[in-house]
Every structure is written in structure tokens, then in C-alpha cells.
């Protein structure tokens, strides 16, 4: 099993999105968080199966929600660079690489 490290801003994006969804409907924030955790588990189990978007960078879609997880794999560590909404500023996270 690989170690997973969230970039500080990716962690902030995740928590902001959980808060947003929870305001929309009680429990929806937790559902979003569960889907993100499931996607991260899939990334951890099969880190090289997600779509490559740039050399060394991959993208995994979050089920049920319009979000992608942007990450890179280095040795035994997965670095989560962004929890990105699919319809907003597509390349804002590039400076995190």
C-alpha cells in the first residue's frame, strides 16, 4: 500500500467542497467525502490506471460528483495535488507540481 499525501491546498479544496455540499443538503457533504475516499483507495490500489494528463500527472474522476483528483506517483507515495471541480478554472493547480 502506498502513502497518500494531500497538498495543503488540495486538502482545503476537499474540505471547502464538503462544507458546500453539506449546506446544500444534510449528509451530502459526507457522501461527497465518501466518494473521494473511495477514489483515493482506487488510486492507491491501482495508481497507474487513471488517465495521464501530463507527464507524471494523472487524473481520477470522483463518482457521482463533478470532481477530479489530480495526483502524481513517486516511489511509494501518492501526492494529491488537487481536488478539482470539473467546470471551474481547469489548470489553476498547475503551479503545485
Q: What fold does the segment set 3-88 form as a domain?
A: YaeB-like fold (3.30.2310)
Exposed e or buried b for every residue in 47-65, given b needs 16+ CB within 10 A?
beebeeeeeebbbbebeeb
Tens digit of pLDDT for each residue in 3-61?
A: 999 999 999 999 999 999 999 999 999 999 999 999 999 999 999 999 999 899 999 99
This prediction has a pTM of 0.90
Q: Where are the domains of the chain?
A: 3-88
pLDDT in tens, 58-84: 999 999 999 999 999 999 999 999 999
59's grid cell: 487524473
43 or 92, which is more confident: 43
C-alpha cell read off for 55: 507527464
Amino acid at each position: 500500500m502506498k502513502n497518500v499525501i494531500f497538498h495543503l491546498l488540495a486538502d482545503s479544496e476537499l474540505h471547502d467542497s464538503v462544507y458546500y455540499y453539506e449546506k446544500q443538503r444534510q449528509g451530502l457533504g459526507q457522501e461527497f467525502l465518501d466518494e473521494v475516499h473511495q477514489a483515493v483507495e482506487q488510486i492507491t490500489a491501482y495508481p497507474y490506471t487513471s488517465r495521464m494528463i501530463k507527464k507524471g500527472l494523472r487524473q481520477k474522476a470522483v463518482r457521482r460528483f463533478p470532481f477530479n483528483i489530480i495526483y502524481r506517483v513517486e516511489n511509494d507515495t501518492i501526492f494529491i495535488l488537487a481536488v478539482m471541480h470539473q467546470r471551474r478554472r481547469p489548470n489553476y493547480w498547475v503551479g503545485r507540481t
